[in-house]
Structure 1
Amino acid sequence: MKSVVAVCAIFVAAFLVAAVSGDAGRSACKDESEVGQTFTHHFDAAKYWLCETLGTPAKEVDCPSGLAYMHLLKECIPWASYVWKKPEMPPTVY
């Protein structure tokens, strides 16, 4: 019975890994409205995505030490002020 549970757990874990994009909400920057914009990194609040060039996927940017990215403010803020919000997808995704 334990081996059946273990096998099921492995399948569930594999499904979750496959279902979650490794790019964490990274913009593909395929729309002009995205250029110059920042987007929430879905797995690390101390990072965000910056779309610099049309047609080039957004680059990952780290907030300075001790800060987290708040998309509503479009800036890195102190962790004590950070409030988690469900991340939204950018218009185009890499």
Structure 2
Amino acid sequence: MNSVFVALCAVFLAAMLMGGVNADAGRSACQDESELGQTYTHHFDAAKYWLCETLGVPATEVDCPSGLAYMHLLKECIPWASYIWKKPEMPPTVA
């Protein structure tokens, strides 16, 4: 196994264990009406996104169809070949 991959996994795991990484990072708490019907980038899986459906209920995790990744700038799932990573932003309220 690639030693760089193993090292990155170890760092990520250590950060999670120390509480430095929120497993729901990017998940909207849907506490503001402006968030309803909006989608937000899933910070750890580009093939997923968060959908805010109900006021006061944290956003639901949604999977893009197979072979697609979520592009927040376009607000849709697109082919991986067209996907460009952008630094994720936090929603107005966070779960």
- Report % sequence identity: 81
Matched AA of 2:24: D
Q: How many residues align?
A: 83
Alignment of 1:1-94 (within 5 A): 14=14, 16-17=15-16, 18-94=19-95
Which structure 1 residue ranges, 5 or more long, are not aligned? Answer: 1-9
Q: Which residue in 2 is equivalent to 1:7?
A: none
Which structure 2 residue ranges, 5 or more long, are not aligned? Answer: 1-9
TM-score calculated relative to the size of structure 2: 0.83
Within 1, Cα distance between the matches of 2:41 and 2:32? 17
Offset of 1:24 from its aligned partner?
2.2
Aligned CA RMSD, in angstroms, stands at: 1.5
Larger gyration radius, structure 1 or structure 2: 1
Deviating more after overlay: 19-28 vs 67-76: 19-28
Within 1, Cα distance between the matches of 2:61 and 2:13? 26
Q: Which residue in 1 is equivalent to 2:6?
A: none
TM-score calculated relative to the size of structure 1: 0.84
> Which consecutive segments of 4 or more residues in structure 1 shift more than 2 A?
none
SS of 2:77's equivalent in the other structure is strand
Within 2, Cα distance between the matches of 1:91 and 1:13? 27
